[in-house]
Copies of this chain bind each other. A is one copy, B any other.
Amino acid sequence: MKVLGVDPGLTRCGVGVVEGVAGRPLTMAGVGVVRTPADADVAHRLVLIERGLEEWLDRYRPEYVAVERVFSQHNVRTVMGTAQASAVAMLCAARRGLPVALHTPSEVKAAVTGSGRADKAQVGAMVTRLLRLAAPPKPADAADALALAICHIWRAPAVNRLQAAQAAARRTPAPVRTPKGTR
């Protein structure tokens, strides 16, 4: 399976594509950051994030999109921008019928390092090792996006199947049911 991980943010939106299945070595297909200028208005920044993410979706054609789940107990100023950027990521994926999974930062850290309270450096080091990279991806948002994708591949094969079925059900009409009592 091929997963696009998105670490949402208005200034830097981390993106990373990982391919593989749980229990086998994983491969990085691509990693980067979609940036928007801090002096632009929010509406225009969201348009730039949409364009950037559409390019990633067009180029890598992932089957799943994993987005960091945003909590509002974080910094009040940044959380709104993060929520807005994550909305655009979810929208871009769902519009294409791709299943979207949300993972919390501690779920991602726990998946790749074994500890939900690991720091950035530890996450970066494990992403580098797991994807057999020459150096940790920079900036941290890019490494976090790869960690999200890895977490998704490892964490929830059952959730994936459920979400894929739900997404397919929305794309196609429901099957005709034979009424009870007839054959």
Segment 158-180 of A: residues with Cβ below 8 Å from B: 163, 166, 170
B83, A50: Cβ atoms under 8 Å? no
A22 touches B (CB below 8 Å): no
Q: Known: A84-B83, A86-B84. Contact between A43 and B76, CB under 8 A?
A: no
| A90: B residues at CB distance < 8 A | 42-43, 46, 84
Q: Which stretch from A25-33, A92-100, A114-122 is at the chain B interface?
A: A92-100
A72 touches B (CB below 8 Å): yes
B50, A91: Cβ atoms under 8 Å? yes
Please state the number of chain copies in the assembly.
2
A133 touches B (CB below 8 Å): no
| A91: B residues at CB distance < 8 A | 43, 46-47, 50, 88, 91
| A84: B residues at CB distance < 8 A | 83-84, 86-87, 90
A72 and B70 CA atoms in complex are apart in Å by: 12
| A86: B residues at CB distance < 8 A | 84
Q: How large is the interface on A (under 10, 10 to 19, 20 to 34, 35 or more residues)?
A: 20 to 34
A94, B46: Cβ atoms under 8 Å? yes
A182 touches B (CB below 8 Å): no
A44 touches B (CB below 8 Å): yes
A80 touches B (CB below 8 Å): yes
A163 and B44 CA atoms in complex are apart in Å by: 11
Segment 46-99 of A: residues with Cβ below 8 Å from B: 46-47, 50, 70, 72-73, 76, 79-80, 83-88, 90-91, 93-95
B79, A44: Cβ atoms under 8 Å? no
Across the interface, name the chain B residue whose C-beta is closest to A94.
B43
CB distance from A53 to the nearest CB of B (A): 11
What mask results when residues 136 to 148 of chain A are scored 1 for a CB within 8 Å of chain B, else 0? 0000000000000
CB distance from A71 to the nearest CB of B (A): 8
